[in-house]
Amino acid sequence: MNTKMPKRILGNRGLEVSAIGLGCMGMSFGYGPAADKQEMIALLHAAVEQGITFFDTAEVYGPFTNEALVGEALAPFKREVIIATKFGFDIDPVQMKSIGVNSRPENIRKVAEASLKRLQVEVIDLFYQHRVDPDVPIEDVAGTVKDLIREGKVKYFGLSEAGVETIRRAHAEQPVAALQSEYSLWTRQHEKEIIPTIEELGIGLVAYSPLGRGFLTGKIDADTQFAEGDIRNILPRYTEEAREANMALLDILEQFAAAKNATTAQIALAWVLAQKPWIVPIPGTTKLHRLSENNGAVYIHLSSDELQELESAATQVEIVGTRYPEQMEKMTGK
C-alpha cells in the first residue's frame, strides 16, 4: 500500500483518513446503469494502492449493492481502511428503492446489523445519519448510535446535510466526528453558518460532490446527454441553460489549471483542500485515470495570493440553478 497520500484528522476524536477519500455511490447508483463489478473491484484496489484509506458508501446506494461491492473489494484491506456508511431511509423491498426517511432507533439498529454483514466488517468505522428525519428527535438518533458505539458495532458518529441546530443537539448527546455535506467552488452556502459551527465544535467536514457531479472537471457542457437514471437529469443546475451559463466558472478554473500545469478537477479539489485542514473531499469516479488525476490534487499547492485570486474571480460568477429540486432540498436539515 502506497502511504504517500497525506492524512487528515476528521473532528477531535482522532479519526484519521487520507486527505482525499473515494465516493463509491456512482459505481452502483445515481449516474445511470451500474458499472461492471470486476472493474469496480479493480478500481477500489487501485485506490488503496494510491494511498486512499477513506471510502464512502450507504445502504440506499443501489439499494444495498454498493455496500456489498465495497465490502467485497475492501475485505483484504479492512485493517487498513476506514469505511463510512449511512442509515436513515425506508427502503421498499419490492421496488428496491427509497420511500422516505426513517431514523427510528429500531431502524438504525436493523441497518447497522445489515451493513456490518454487507461490508464484511466487525465494526462500522463511521456511521452517518443520511438525512435528518423530522419525525425523530435527533437526541434519539444520537443516543442510538451512542449505544451502538458502546456495544462495539460503530466507532464514530456522523451527520449528513444537517443544519446548525441539529448538529448542536446531536453533538451534545454523542460527539459527532464528521458532517458530510456538499461543498465545492460552486456550492458554498455552508460557509455562512455550518462551517463556523463545526469548527467551533471540533467536527470534520467530508465534502461530497467536490467536482460538482463532474461539471468542474470540464468534461460536461451544454450539449452533454446524461444516461437514463442519471440524477443530473432532474437537478436544476444541470439543465442545458444552466450548464451554458455556468461555463463561466469553468473558464476561470481552466486559466488556473493552465498556470499550474494541472487539470480543472485538480484545481477544484486543491481549492477544497486549502479551505481548512479538517476538510476531506470524496470525489467519486468509475475510471482509473480519473482516480489518479483526482488524487494528484493533494500535490497542488495554491498560495494565499492564488487562493485570493481564484476566490475573487469565482465570486464574480453567479451560479445558475439550485443544487436540488425543492422537494429534495427540503430533506436537508435545520
The pLDDT of residue 2 is 47
Question: Which CATH number is 7-212+272-301 given?
Answer: 3.20.20.100
Residue showing cell 466526528: 177
Q: Which residue has the cell 490534487?
A: 297
Percent of the chain with pLDDT over 90: 92
pTM listed for this prediction: 0.97
Q: Per residue in 255-292, pLDDT tens?
A: 999 999 999 999 999 999 999 999 999 999 999 999 99
Q: What is residue 284's predicted lDDT score, i.e. its pLDDT?
A: 97
Give the three-state DSSP class for 302: coil
Distances (CA, A) of 171 to 197, 262, 333: 11, 39, 15
- Asked if 61 and 24 touch (Cβ cutoff 8 Å), the reply is yes
Query: Average pLDDT in the 240-253 region?
Result: 95
**How much is the pLDDT for 94?**
83
- Give Cα separations from 150 to 67, 137, 157 (angstroms): 23, 20, 12
Residue 95: its pLDDT value, please? 86
Q: Are 118 and 157 in contact (CB under 8 A)?
A: no
Supply the residues annotated as catalytic: 61
Distance CA 298, CA 300 (A): 6
